[in-house]
Structure 1
Amino acid sequence: MGQTCSSPLKQCISDPAPPNKLKVRYSLRELEKLYDSDENPKLLEDFMTAWDMIKKKDATDLRGFFAIGGFHGEPFVGAGAIDTNYWGGYCNHGNVLFPTWHRVYLKKLEEALDLAVPGVALAYWDETSEESLRYGIPHSLTDELFHYKTPDENGKYRDPIKNPLRSYTFPVEVEDANNGDKVYKKPEGYETVRYPLSGLVGTEEARSKSELHNSQFPSIEEQVKLLNKNVIAWLTGTEPVENVDSDDPKKVNLYKNFKECLAAPTYTLFSNTTSANEHNKKELGKQIIPLESPHNTIHLAVGGYDEPGLEAGIITGANGDMGENNTAGFDPIFYLHHCNIDRMFWLWQKIHNCTDKLVIDEKDKGAQSNTFAHGGQGPVVNFPSDVTLTMSTPLTPFMVNEETDQRMYTSYDVVNIEKQLGYTYSEGSLSSIRKSVLRSDGTVKGHGKLLNVSGIDRTLFAGSFVIAAYAEIDGQKRMIGYETILNPWRVEGCANCQNHLVVNFTFNLESLSLAEVESAIFSVTISHRGEELPDDFTYETEVVGGAEKSIARASK
């Protein structure tokens, strides 16, 4: 299906043939260092100039940032804008096309940057680098202004510009036409925000709440400080540790999840949360962390959630754009985050000898176009809910070439980034990891006990939320894990979601001894957009795995 671009509302944009010379995608901090040292400031200058240019293009220009940002979520188009059987946007989440669809998506943005300033490549935020673990987000993503060091072609020094990576101002109004929901509408002139701010402005009530919340943080310097504090907490865990590269299972942190996702044995399990969650429920003692899991967590860390268990600096009411799929694609940091996700994808391919071939298990539940029943999303635009996703499935709405090859990209077209797409990555963090040092089969050490959490109704929560599981032992509460869920803003309005409302998760209990597992009282907390938990919120916990199965404990 979809051999041509059929949507009258959102046209496809073509991709030129890969250049003879590979483009190198550097980390943003590498560009900063070249700029600060005066060794090659032009790389960062050209990058900023290109971003500034595409953001200033007309909203109807398919090479402009508004059009490209809209491919991910809002503004919903075609069937996605009027039919509640769809989630609304084109992006794939919770299914096997998550890595490949976003790979093409990044290529389209990079192409637009290259057209603005020839030779410019995307850059990535190296989220597991020593600098990120210590300082948080690169300053080039949060500075208010960017200053040029080199003169232009006329020998004149250019004036500073407003930092194009810090935010984006909407040139036109955008709203979630699907379901008639107005809370997440963005008016013309709205500027994207990040933690600790709130960007809910679609109704008078929501706007008033956001204005009151944001008035607590008038200083941009303080906003950046709180954002970095939150990101560092997610990356490094809830307890101070001396060695972030430790294999200590007691550490619950994003760095560890990024590293362990590289151990996933197959592309299907590596690619998405649906496949990994189903595997983890069936294959007790062999737990897989998919790439999509740490990906989701970064979205919420930047968009508006405190790291579970953090005792200082708790800020409720933050609703940044990165925290929702609806508008995440309009925050420039989205693309540097996803560039790192694509880099991790490429690292996984090299570790597992999959640089020239990927295999999708078409019988897996993550290979279905509608994965909402398993914590994913409804089908994307133009896809029925019962389609099996394969390597040949079109990655809509992206054409290979409108003139010479009028067909949609498929995953077959984007397996090898160097041979097929013409780019590669610099040597970032985790690049030196080899398969021999990873838990290649995801096997849990020790007793093999796991905690199943089930019965959580997604309709009770507006937008994304975080589930954190705890074990209380001898009166002391210890967090054993968390899951981040990029939830639609209004689940109850999605027709395909009505029979798929309950989500289940499995947490590894290897940080506890067998005696602690047997005596522990397990509980769950939910961090969500609302002010308090709904009265009818319930869930169940059950310890499984190992030699025997424990008695189920139901909790609220």
Structure 2
Amino acid sequence: MPTNEIKVRRSVRGLQAEYDKGNKQPLEDLVRAWRGIQNLPATDKRSFFAIGGYHGEPFQYRRQVDNLSDTDRYTYWGGYCNHGNVLFPTWHRVYVRKLEEALQSIVPSVTMPYWDETSDESRQHGIPSILTQEQFPLDGELIDNPLRSFILPEALSDYLPGDDRIYEKPKGYETVRYPLSGLVGTEAARAATDAHNAQYPHPSENIKLLNQNIVDWLEGPKPEEPKPRSQNGVYWEFQNCLHAPNYTVFSNTTSAGQWNLDRSGTAITPLESPHNDIHLAVGGFDVPGQGEAGKFAGANGDMGENNTAAMDPIFFFHHCNVDRMFWLWQKQNGFTDSFEIISGYAGTSSSDSQGPTPGIAPGTPLDLDTPLNPFLKDEFGTIFTSRDCINIEKQLGYTYAPGSLEVAPELKAVESGFSTKKLTVRGIDRALFQGSFVLRAYATVQNEKGESTEYYLGHHSVLSRRNVIRCANCLTHLEVIAHFPLGNMPAEAVERAKFRLEIQHRGAELPAKLNYTLEVND
């Protein structure tokens, strides 16, 4: 949708700084617009409930789309969202644009701001306070802050016969973030959640815990030397993804995983990886390195699962920044007007990882002309494609105010004497897990004196669904492949190392059928 005026999306922290200096209208208009779409009837296509539901819940039962047999008639379609394939950046680009259009239907001058997750302020303080404070003064009254949470006007359910309904969300449910839990679908789940949340009765203290968790994820855990902290954090991952050589491997974890299997040298980080990390950091996972369940084992915030992530307003501030990083990669690598998808590569089939969106048959090749369902480009019912949203300024009418990483830092070469190899993990079946989980890899090396040195190799976040086994578009490709560079290990120590994997997950214990391989390769 070409436009004569290019609107500027700004940092939400910048809007807040202006507000504090006396220029209150831009932030007030943003809050007013968000309040407006949250108050619209659930049946209104501009309502936050309707737009948030495109990503996951409320689920649709799609026998007529997927040609399901009678025995599979209860299989659901877990949202329209694309993950683990080449449509991940473009689908979410249009998704944020549709949310922005809804905001503009309330306040025409508003643009969707981004949470600059790699700014110095975020790395030091976490989430901008306007996204966490409980109330906001607007139009002469103190209102509940619509940027902090959302109260469901209708129930959400992934209930199917035989399920325990643990992730069902009733009408009136309010979204939560780390360190709280939002599992309320059964009597037992509500009791466990009430007991967990009772430990954190003070919102101000909870915000401090949330912000510290975000800072720790951005900067990385604090392993013993010699591993630098910055090489393990989300901040480093965002920097690294800007150096991806082409759109296919930049766009998603499936393509990047295959690229790293096929090639020696530095592992490529796709945009989807740090994206996943932020989801889990906000949604209930401690920074990797806290043991299987972490410090707050009962934390289950909505951003941590695909099913309800988009019902938390912070989802769109996060994804606006993900789109900004996409645009930075385009500008820094000369792809503002065109880029290509490597035909036939991993991540280019509708049966890769996340699976096809409704109306696309399994096994369909994904390309620049694949429909980005359900987003309409015009009043005639034409569906957006990736080709329609390559250049955000010329095609969509917006751009971004400068923020962090406008110039991508050069990647540091592996120091002389240290390993250039990587550890590859294969065979993790995400259908065995209830929801999202995090892989963490370690190496232990023993010297001639019997003294051991442990090296933390990094983490790999898997953003998933609580009920993968019933999700038609999740069952098409379930293997998780992860790569961990060994650049912090002396090259001579790699052959003597014993490698291990820890999995931080939602369950009480690891799945019994878990079977995976650890292999060092170039």
Normalising by the residue count of structure 1, what TM-score does the alignment of the two structures yield? 0.86
Contact 2:119 2:404 survives alignment (8 Å): yes
Unaligned 5+ residue runs, structure 1?
A: 1-16, 149-156, 242-246, 546-556
Unaligned 5+ residue runs, structure 2?
A: 66-71, 447-451
Contact 1:85 1:378 survives alignment (8 Å): no
Amino acid at match of 1:408: I
Amino acid at match of 1:413: D
Q: Secondary structure at the match of 1:385?
A: coil
Pairing 1:329–2:301 present:
no
Contact 2:351 2:477 survives alignment (8 Å): no
Aligned runs of 1:18-97 on 2, under 5 Å?
18-38=2-22, 40-77=23-60, 79=62, 87-97=77-87
How many Å separate the matches in 1 of 2:289 and 2:478?
Answer: 27
Q: Secondary structure at the match of 2:171?
A: coil
Q: Deviations over 1:394-424 (max 9, x none)?
A: 111111112xx43101011101111111111
Distance 1:397 1:499, change over 3 A: closer
Aligned runs of 1:364-403 on 2, under 5 Å?
364-371=345-352, 376-402=353-379
Distance 1:425 1:468, change over 3 A: same
How many Å separate the matches in 2 of 1:123 and 1:493?
Answer: 35
Q: Secondary structure at the match of 1:488?
A: coil
Amino acid at match of 1:170: L
Q: Larger deviation: 490-499 or 465-474?
A: 490-499
Q: Deviations over 1:24-68 (max 9, x none)?
A: 111111001100011x21100100110011100000000111111
How many Å separate the matches in 1 of 2:368 and 2:389?
Answer: 10
How many Å separate the matches in 2 of 1:514 and 1:521?
Answer: 14
Q: Which residue does 2:488 correspond to in 1?
A: 511
How many Å separate the matches in 1 of 2:129 and 2:328?
Answer: 26
Q: Secondary structure at the match of 2:395?
A: coil
Distance 1:283 1:313, change over 3 A: closer
Q: Which residue does 2:168 correspond to in 1?
A: 185
Q: Which residue does 2:399 correspond to in 1?
A: 424
Aligned runs of 1:32-431 on 2, under 5 Å?
32-38=16-22, 40-77=23-60, 79=62, 87-148=77-138, 158-177=140-159, 181=163, 182-239=165-222, 251-310=231-290, 314-371=295-352, 376-402=353-379, 405-431=380-406
Q: Which residue does 2:449 correspond to in 1?
A: none
Q: Secondary structure at the match of 1:222?
A: helix
Normalising by the residue count of structure 2, what TM-score does the alignment of the two structures yield? 0.92
How many Å separate the matches in 2 of 1:495 and 1:62?
Answer: 25
Shift of 1:78: 5.0
Alignment coverage as a number of residue pairs: 505
How many Å separate the matches in 2 of 1:51 and 1:240?
Answer: 41
How many Å separate the matches in 2 of 1:325 and 1:496?
Answer: 12
Q: Percent identity?
A: 52
Amino acid at match of 1:30: G
Match of 1:478 among 455, 462, 473: 455
Shift of 1:499: 7.1
Distance 1:448 1:256, change over 3 A: same
Shift of 1:146: 0.8
Distance 1:109 1:498, change over 3 A: closer
Shift of 1:282: 1.3
Contact 1:86 1:378 survives alignment (8 Å): no
Amino acid at match of 2:457: I
CA RMSD of aligned residues (A): 2.4
How many Å separate the matches in 2 of 1:424 and 1:343?
Answer: 9
How many Å separate the matches in 1 of 2:338 and 2:473?
Answer: 33
How many Å separate the matches in 1 of 2:131 and 2:476?
Answer: 41
How many Å separate the matches in 1 of 2:113 and 2:456?
Answer: 34
